[in-house]
Structure 1
Amino acid sequence: MPTSSQQMSMEFLVRVERSNGSRPAGCGSALDQLYWELCDIWGIVVQAAAALGFVSCVALATVLLLWMACTSRRCGRPVGTVALLLFLLGTAGMFALPFSFVISLSPQTCPVRVFLFGVLFCIVFSALLARGLALMDVGLVRGWREAGVAVTLTLVQVIISVEWLLVVLIRDERTCEFSQAEFAMLQIYVMVLLAAALATALRFLCDAYITYSYSYTGRQTHRHTKLQAALLVLTLLLSVCIWIVWITLLIYGNHAMGHSPDWDDPVISIALTANGWVLLLGHGFTQVHFMCQCEARTKDPPLHFTGWTSPGKTPAAVTEETKTGRDNGGFQMDTDERRGKDMESPGIIMTEISTEKDYSIPRPTTTNINKPYDEYYIHRV
């Protein structure tokens, strides 16, 4: 019976040297065997999707930086932009990481896989957790502290990954040998952050649908709040589904189907790319769109209530058509020189009421005017 260390050594050698002797179409004869999967169909698809996602993250971050530079001169730096930049940074790293899994496992790619996988996911899920707490108006994550909370939560995974990597690299003088179950165990803290972010988003979604804002822009703001809460929950739910699928396949599914060494790297690469696109579409683009809309609403002029609060005063911005009574100018009083004259208004004729006519409202009277309660007192017991 081989020991666990021997099994891990055999699995590592199989993953590094696996090949059925056939070179994928498109790979040159001089290309090393470690890079054969770059020419495979799944490798090409993953590379194309990951490259497009990386470029999208970089472009979105550039647009956000330019927008921050323009808006910070007038009204200060918008709240949440630093945390959003941190989120885009982590998402861009997730799109770059699949290239280390498309290339076969080697002493060079192993440290990158072990360290960056958990750290990048921790950056993203910490930013989503901090965003959910900020939307719930928790004092701990207001302003700059939102990005500070995300960075603090990420440092925990950095310490865990560094310690685990050092143990793996120097354990029994073997170069980066580990099982897939050990790799999944390394992500326990990331899964805890994902669960906490989902619970916070669900709580925010419930609060968004039972509260209402009474400001003059409250209806539109509340609609955006509900949409933002729904998108945050949907993004995290899809991320949970992706994590359940790739962990199940990595630990049990591939081995049960007889494809354990060959399908491990494609499963992780596809999971990284798919989760990156879910995060980018569900939170990256939409969050930048919400911020731009909020900035546009702050440029709208405030409502003018001069005609409502002071009927005797005519606002300076009221036009001549409003003064003639053609439109409702806040129930403004007519001037003395126009009394007795018809107001020239299309469809509305305003004239002074004649004093010779009786406009009083008739009231009901009783037949017994002098003593109306005599009949009541006669029949009194």
Structure 2
Amino acid sequence: MFLFIKWLLSAMETTSAPNGCGYSISSIYYNLCDLTKVWGVVVEAVAAAGVVTSFVLFVILMASLPFVTDKKRKGMVALQAAILVFTLGLFGLTFAFIVGRYSTSCSARRFLFGVLFSGCLSCLVMHGLWLALLQRRGRGPRSWMLCLGALGLWLVEVIINTEWLILTVVRSPPGIVTVPDMSCSIANQDFVMSLIYVMVLLLAVVLMAVPSLTHKHKQWHRDGAFILVTGLLTLAIWVAWIVMYVYGNRVVGNPSWDDPTLAVAVVSNAWVFLFLYTIPEICFLTQEDPDQEEPHDGEHIYPARSLVYDTILKEPEPPHQNVYMENKAFSMDEPPTAPTKPVSPYGAYNGQVRSAVYQPTEIALIAKGLTKVSMDQDAMIPRATAPSLNLKSGSSLPLSSESLPS
């Protein structure tokens, strides 16, 4: 009889599954499929869309990296990629607040809530610091220094939550899934007090973004404005959920609204990070460096690397050659103009041997005149002898035929 009653109670329990959930689903997952409690299904759908959007934006960010021409923006890609990863984790954490409370879900809520938010806020703090230093000194820290700074700020919260997790889980090992343990028995005020460091980072985000609003360059001014708006909306969301989680739900008389309050806060804050920071930063990646001034004639300024290649590939201009014939009898009145295009060294080759080219020098003219005279005398005398030059008179002209010896 006892076994029959126990079987009947279990059968009644399985037949009382909410609308939209199957009989084989555990009761801790009813909020994911219960159509009578719309908040669970709606938040689940919004979180799933956020997971897909974060992954797509991460792929777009990595694919746009080779096309970034501004080195300053290229150094911020690492921080933006980290924010996308942490935002993806926030969308996944939303499911831990939708399902029922048990040891694993309670530990994930307590540990990942501060870790994921501190990761996003640490990157925003370092980006705001970079903008402030860029305005003051004209250049900001290197990207690896910003990554180390964000990593240091994030590790503080990781150490704090790891210490809490070790103390609670080790002291109270997880038992049956449906029985809450010590990790689920934490009070709402204690949960909020454990996030003080995250609140300090949130305040730092707002303060770091204020100086960049007076930046002389428009694009850095817009970056600071988006960071400031993201910090202010995050601050407003945190104030709203803390008031409802600690005080409002008790006054209304619905303590069961604690989990929906945290789930809505996490998913809405994650979408704020996407819409107000990540998407605008990805759109700004293709902008040019504002420090590079455009010329007045509208010509495009190429980077230094392209100038080097242009110098190498540019045809060398031929040296200006003044062609003068070193001849006392001849001189050129005007030097030829330099060619506008590179001239081939074989352009003047006509197939003749260089020694056969006629060179009108003075000695050649004299020899030509003597040869002509000798040919004329060959017909008159048996032999022709070389003429003797009058060296004393300094004349270089050939003698007449009458002075030739017989």
1:204 alignment partner AA: S
CA pair 284-104 structure 1, distance change in 2 beyond 3 A: same
2:51 aligns with 54
1:157 alignment partner AA: E
Q: What is the rounded CA distance, in whole Å, between the counterparts of 2:298 and 2:29 in structure 1?
A: 71
Q: Does 1:204 align with 2:200?
A: no
Secondary structure (helix, strand or coil) at the match of 2:288 reads: helix
Structure 1 residue 186 displacement after superposition: 1.3
Give identity over the alignment, percent.
34
1:202 alignment partner AA: V
1:228 aligns with 223
Deviations 1:72-108 (A, max 9, x none): 8x97991111011111111111111100111111112
> Do the aligned residues in 2 keep the contact of 1:141 with 1:149 (CA within 8 Å)?
no
Secondary structure (helix, strand or coil) at the match of 1:125 reads: helix
State the aligned residue count: 271
1:185 aligns with 193
Q: Does 1:109 align with 2:105?
A: yes
Secondary structure (helix, strand or coil) at the match of 1:255 reads: helix
Structure 1 residue 234 displacement after superposition: 1.0
Q: What is the rounded CA distance, in whole Å, between the counterparts of 2:72 and 2:233 in structure 1?
A: 35
> Do the aligned residues in 2 keep the contact of 1:168 with 1:178 (CA within 8 Å)?
no
Structure 1 residue 141 displacement after superposition: 4.1
Q: Does 1:28 align with 2:22?
A: yes
**Mind listing any 5+ residue stretches in structure 2 that lack a counterpart?**
1-12, 174-180, 300-406
**Mind listing any 5+ residue stretches in structure 1 that lack a counterpart?**
1-18, 213-221, 307-381
Q: What is the rounded CA distance, in whole Å, between the counterparts of 2:55 and 2:79 in structure 1?
A: 15
Q: What is the rounded CA distance, in whole Å, between the counterparts of 1:24 and 1:125 in structure 2?
A: 39
Choose from 227, 238, 241 the match for 1:246. Answer: 241
2:203 aligns with 195
**TM alignment of 1:62-77, pairs within 5 A:** 62-71=59-68
Q: What is the rounded CA distance, in whole Å, between the counterparts of 1:188 and 1:224 in structure 2?
A: 33
1:269 aligns with 263
2:190 alignment partner AA: E
Choose from 255, 263, 288 the match for 1:294. Answer: 288
Secondary structure (helix, strand or coil) at the match of 2:19 reads: coil
**TM alignment of 1:33-182, pairs within 5 A:** 33-39=27-33, 40-71=37-68, 78-137=74-133, 141-171=141-171, 174-176=181-183, 177-182=185-190
Structure 1 residue 71 displacement after superposition: 4.5
Structure 1 residue 196 displacement after superposition: 0.8
Q: What is the rounded CA distance, in whole Å, between the counterparts of 1:131 and 1:159 in structure 2?
A: 23
Q: Does 1:255 align with 2:250?
A: yes
> Do the aligned residues in 2 keep the contact of 1:101 with 1:266 (CA within 8 Å)?
yes
2:166 alignment partner AA: L
TM-align CA RMSD: 2.8
1:216 aligns with none
CA pair 69-42 structure 1, distance change in 2 beyond 3 A: same
CA pair 129-22 structure 1, distance change in 2 beyond 3 A: farther
Structure 1 residue 192 displacement after superposition: 0.3
> Do the aligned residues in 2 keep the contact of 1:130 with 1:141 (CA within 8 Å)?
no
1:347 aligns with none
Q: What is the rounded CA distance, in whole Å, between the counterparts of 2:272 and 2:39 in structure 1?
A: 19
Q: What is the rounded CA distance, in whole Å, between the counterparts of 1:202 and 1:77 in structure 2?
A: 20
Q: Comparing 139-148 with 117-126, which one deviates more in the overlay?
A: 139-148
Q: What is the rounded CA distance, in whole Å, between the counterparts of 2:141 and 2:281 in structure 1?
A: 17
Q: What is the rounded CA distance, in whole Å, between the counterparts of 2:113 and 2:54 in structure 1?
A: 18
Structure 1 residue 61 displacement after superposition: 0.9
Secondary structure (helix, strand or coil) at the match of 1:164 reads: helix
Bigger Rg over Cα:
2
Deviations 1:84-139 (A, max 9, x none): 11111111111111001111111121221111110000010000000001111267
Deviations 1:251-272 (A, max 9, x none): 1111111111x11110000000
Q: TM-score, normalised by structure 1?
A: 0.65
Q: What is the rounded CA distance, in whole Å, between the counterparts of 1:101 and 1:153 in structure 2?
A: 26
CA pair 171-75 structure 1, distance change in 2 beyond 3 A: closer
> Do the aligned residues in 2 keep the contact of 1:86 with 1:147 (CA within 8 Å)?
no
Q: What is the rounded CA distance, in whole Å, between the counterparts of 1:235 and 1:77 in structure 2?
A: 19
1:52 alignment partner AA: A
Structure 1 residue 24 displacement after superposition: 3.3
2:90 alignment partner AA: M
> Do the aligned residues in 1 keep the contact of 2:78 with 2:143 (CA within 8 Å)?
no
1:269 alignment partner AA: A
> Do the aligned residues in 1 keep the contact of 2:87 with 2:270 (CA within 8 Å)?
yes
Q: What is the rounded CA distance, in whole Å, between the counterparts of 1:106 and 1:143 in structure 2?
A: 41
> Do the aligned residues in 2 keep the contact of 1:126 with 1:154 (CA within 8 Å)?
yes
Structure 1 residue 46 displacement after superposition: 0.6
Q: What is the rounded CA distance, in whole Å, between the counterparts of 1:89 and 1:287 in structure 2?
A: 15
